[in-house]
């Protein structure tokens, strides 16, 4: 692997590197965890694969043993189909009942949790259509899903009577599976079991039952039924810092963010840097300019709380405000223009992890790659070999 080798395929010196081998290893790791059990792995690739690239991540995940994909929106599912993915896909959010024909045409499973949705959807289906749905139960996340016995009974009745809608799964989502305090998780799990009993009492059986996000899948393999929805840890990231030490295998972070210095200059003491002139040099300082800014999702907060980058393994702190397309760092010494800078990832024995960056921004690791915008090209590696590049069209 030559760092920055893909930069001939686009025309800016900022890029993401996605290590597809890391994604594959993370999938294989969880598969091994379930080697004694029948378990379907749904790879969660919503939000363009948490900013990594949904199509490329999907292919890698499917190669490594995932057999189902999960997205948030019908548009995201259609984009995967357009990209040639034919694996089963579930849309986790609400799809308009008027759009069900598209889901049928492209063999996309939808999430259902409203009786009037079922009634409306049927009006948009032909008698020969089969729409696969996963019924969402709200066991305590408070987001979407059925809660009451009466509404569950009613929807089960409507689905049983339907010739066009087929119940493929029942699922729920946990709010606190990544916490040390497991009381609320246990409560949600118990509620889910009770709801499942209500449904089973009606003689209903379904191919899949699922409730396991990464935290549940990695910590509680005995509570995941026969499908897991594996998101953040497929990307090699811990679901939370408080459970990082107890993960059952070493996750491999797939995402790195790099750029090249576009300008290097020596300034004497007392010179100002960037908008608002909030930073002033205190002695002779080497200042480097980076071609990335808040319009790329490199938000202004990155310059706070001791934010820094790595230049040939050495730390260089941000100075002054981050601009729309550029920002500045104080270099430990003179470096040449075009020197590679690491904003997230490993560099010569040093590392800025996604967790480091998230802590600096007072947020969670999930958010960081999601907000690195499409203006930053994604370059894909397998076994350290460059395999493809995705850039804005
Ligand atoms: N299932 C559903 C319904 C989800 O919303 C998510 C993640 C996952 C599975 C995967 O979870 P994991 O990434 O922890 O493995 N959803 C979100 C969310 O809405 N905000 O942050 C993560």
What pLDDT, in 10s, does the model give residues 287-301? 999 999 999 999 999
Q: What is the CATH number of the domain that holds 179?
A: 3.20.20.10
Same domain for 261 and 231, yes or no, is no
**Ligand 1 atom nearest to 173, measured from its CA:** 3
Residue 8 lies in a domain: no
Residue 38 lies in a domain: yes
Ligand 1 atom 22: the closest Cα is on which residue? 366
Same domain for 266 and 143, yes or no, is no
**Ligand 1 atom nearest to 229, measured from its CA:** 9
Q: Which of 54, 3, 17, 15 is nearest to 234 (CA)?
A: 54
Q: How many A from CA of 231 to the centre of ligand 1?
A: 6
The total domain count for the chain is 2
CB-based contact 262:12 (threshold 8 Å): no
User: Is residue 323 over pLDDT 90?
Assistant: yes
User: Is residue 7 over pLDDT 80?
Assistant: no
What mean pLDDT is predicted for residues 8-33?
Answer: 95
Q: What is the CATH number of the domain that holds 286?
A: 2.40.37.10
Diameter over CA atoms, the chain: 79
- For residue 266, what pLDDT is reported? 98
- For residue 393, what pLDDT is reported? 67
Q: What percent of the chain has pLDDT over 70?
A: 99
Using most ligand atoms within 8 A of CB, pick from 91, 173, 192, 209 the residue to mutate for ligand 1.
173
What mean pLDDT is predicted for residues 249-257?
Answer: 98
Residue 127 lies in a domain: yes
Residue 357 lies in a domain: no
What mean pLDDT is predicted for residues 61-79?
Answer: 98
- For residue 264, what pLDDT is reported? 98
Same domain for 223 and 284, yes or no, is no
Residue 177 lies in a domain: yes
Same domain for 168 and 218, yes or no, is yes
CB-based contact 168:109 (threshold 8 Å): yes
Q: Quick check: CB of 173 below 6 Å from ligand 1?
A: yes
Same domain for 205 and 272, yes or no, is no
Same domain for 228 and 281, yes or no, is no
User: Is residue 101 over pLDDT 90?
Assistant: yes
- For residue 392, what pLDDT is reported? 82
Per-residue pLDDT of 211-229, as tens digits, reads 999 999 999 999 999 999 9
Using most ligand atoms within 8 A of CB, pick from 73, 229, 255, 358 the residue to mutate for ligand 1.
229
Domain range for 101: 20-235
What mean pLDDT is predicted for residues 297-307?
Answer: 92
Query: Which range has the worst mean pLDDT, 8-12, 120-124, 251-255?
Result: 8-12
Which sequence positions are flagged as catalytic? 46, 275
Same domain for 222 and 264, yes or no, is no
Average pLDDT over the chain, rounded to an integer: 97
Residue 32 lies in a domain: yes
Burial 213-236 (b: 16+ CB within 10 A, else e): bbbbbbbbbebbbebbbbbbbbbb
Please, which pLDDT band fits residue 249 given cuts at 50, 70 and 90?
Answer: very high
Same domain for 323 and 187, yes or no, is no
Q: Quick check: CB of 330 below 6 Å from ligand 1?
A: no
CB-based contact 329:317 (threshold 8 Å): yes
Same domain for 125 and 26, yes or no, is yes
Same domain for 34 and 150, yes or no, is yes
What mean pLDDT is predicted for residues 262-271?
Answer: 98
């Amino acid at each position: 692997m030559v760092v920055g080798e893909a930069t001939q395929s686009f025309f800016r010196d900022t890029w993401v590197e996605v290590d597809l081998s890391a994604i594959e290893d993370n999938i294989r790791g969880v598969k091994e965890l379930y080697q004694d059990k029948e378990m379907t792995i749904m790879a969660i690739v919503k939000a363009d694969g948490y900013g990594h690239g949904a199509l490329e991540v999907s292919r890698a995940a499917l190669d490594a043993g995932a057999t189902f994909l999960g997205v948030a929106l019908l548009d995201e599912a259609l984009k995967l189909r357009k990209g040639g993915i034919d694996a089963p896909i579930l849309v986790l959010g609400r799809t308009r009942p008027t759009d069900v024909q598209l889901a049928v045409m492209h063999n996309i499973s939808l999430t259902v949790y409203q009786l009037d949705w079922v009634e409306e959807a049927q009006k948009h289906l032909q008698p020969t259509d089969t729409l696969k749905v996963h019924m969402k139960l709200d066991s305590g996340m408070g987001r979407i899903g059925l809660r009451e016995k009466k509404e569950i009974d009613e929807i089960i009745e409507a689905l049983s009577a339907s010739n066009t809608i087929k119940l493929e799964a029942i699922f729920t989502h946990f709010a606190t599976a990544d916490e040390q305090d497991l009381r609320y998780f246990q409560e949600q799990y118990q509620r889910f079991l009770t709801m499942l009993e209500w449904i089973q009492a009606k003689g209903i059986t379904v191919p899949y039952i699922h409730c396991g996000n990464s935290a549940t899948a990695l910590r509680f393999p005995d509570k995941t039924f026969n499908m897991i929805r594996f998101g953040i840890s497929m990307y090699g990231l811990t679901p939370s810092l408080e459970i990082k030490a107890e993960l059952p295998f070493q996750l491999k972070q797939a995402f790195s963010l790099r750029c090249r210095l576009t300008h290097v200059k020596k300034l004497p003491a007392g010179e100002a840097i960037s908008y608002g002139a909030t930073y002033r040099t205190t002695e002779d300082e080497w200042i480097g300019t980076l071609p990335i800014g808040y319009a790329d999702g490199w938000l202004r907060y990155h310059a706070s709380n001791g934010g820094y980058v790595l230049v040939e393994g050495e730390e260089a702190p941000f100075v002054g405000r981050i601009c729309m397309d550029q920002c500045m760092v104080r270099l430990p010494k003179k470096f040449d223009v075009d020197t590679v800078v690491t904003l997230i990832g490993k560099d010569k024995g040093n590392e800025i992890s996604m967790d480091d960056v998230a802590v600096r921004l007072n947020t969670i690791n999930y958010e960081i790659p999601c907000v690195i915008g499409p203006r930053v090209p994604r370059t894909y590696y397998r076994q350290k070999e460059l395999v493809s590049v995705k850039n804005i069209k």
